[in-house]
Amino acid sequence: MGVKTKKKTVQGKINTATVIEMILSLLTLPAGLTFVSSELSGSVEEEELRILLTITFLLLSFSRLLRARRYRLTGKAKSVCVMQRVYGAVYFICALLPLFMGYTQRAGLVDAAALEARAEAGQIFVGDVRQVIALIFWGVVLAGRILSIVRNHKWRNLLLNILAIALILVYWYASFVACDLMTAILVIVVQALISIFGVVFQRVKLDVLRKIIRKTYASEIILGLLLLICAVAYVLKFIEPNIPTFEDGLWYGFAIVTTIGFGDFAAVTMVGRLLSVVLGIYGIVVVALITSIIVNFYGETRKEVDDPEENTTSEEVSDEL
């Protein structure tokens, strides 16, 4: 009885940490995107940008610390838990830097007059905070890629991580030269999305989905839908006055297939409307088929997966980030 109570208590702690991590990840998305859009517009006060930057990294720091706690409770490797704590600590430092360093929207260091003014205002550091934070962020990401190589020696993991390390080193240098933080924030946004999907679909085994695709015609059905969307988009480009480009046609086809119907584009010719009807019907059929295939084959295929080394969940994919 005591053992069951203890297990329930641990599971409750895991669930609490998971829910809070998801909330923080969800809050990271608008904070990061708002910072990027504000940087691009260039019409926002520096103080507002500093606040956005601080909030983004605080949310990221707390979510990493919660993930470290969740990993410890679930029995993950100690190195993984330690690395998540390191991420949280470093991101917390990144959150504090905008409060003590001068912030400028220009690349490079500020001029001498601005340096003197900021020094008289009592700021401890002066200069472009984006440069420092970008260097720290990409340094932490680089350390994560190296740790991933140490943990997993499979050729696919090695190849992907070596490529990622090369790109990080290139961008690390570019960040130092151009003080570009926007790409780093976009990577943070992507990481938050992956974390959310990893937690939501942690019970879904990717190797099971791969087996389903191999055993069924799911890939052919999806490929056929994509080809039909491209073909319809190409035709609509020439016959529809409201759809002047191929990209607009793709957007229109996506809206039809997903039944969203944004309303920004509409077919007005008879041929365009007929093609829209065909695409809409085919999209509904594909969605129904794919859904039934996954539901019917998932339980059966999962029972056949008995090799624990091949099992890879969506959450494990997000662990590497």
Give residue-wise pLDDT tens across range 62-114: 999 988 888 888 888 888 888 889 989 999 998 988 877 765 544 344 455 65
Task: Tell me the pLDDT tens digit for each residue of 244-300.
Answer: 888 888 999 888 888 787 778 888 888 888 988 888 888 888 878 777 777 777 666
What secondary structure does DSSP assign to 1-17, as a single string?
-HHHHHHHHHHHHHHHH
- pLDDT tens for 11-42 read 778 888 888 888 888 889 888 888 888 877 76
- Per the CB < 8 A criterion, the answer to whether 192 and 32 are in contact is yes
CB contact at 8 A, 252 and 236: yes
Q: In percent, how much of the chain has pLDDT > 90?
A: 5
Is the C-alpha dihedral spanning 47, 53, 56, 57 positive or negative?
negative
Nearest to 222 by CA among 274, 291, 273, 299: 291
Report residue 246 as tokens: 């191929």
| CB contact at 8 A, 265 and 242 | yes
pTM: 0.64
- What pLDDT, on the 0 to 100 scale, is given for residue 113? 60
Residue 109 — left, alpha, or beta (φ > 0 → left; ψ -120 to 50 → alpha)?
beta
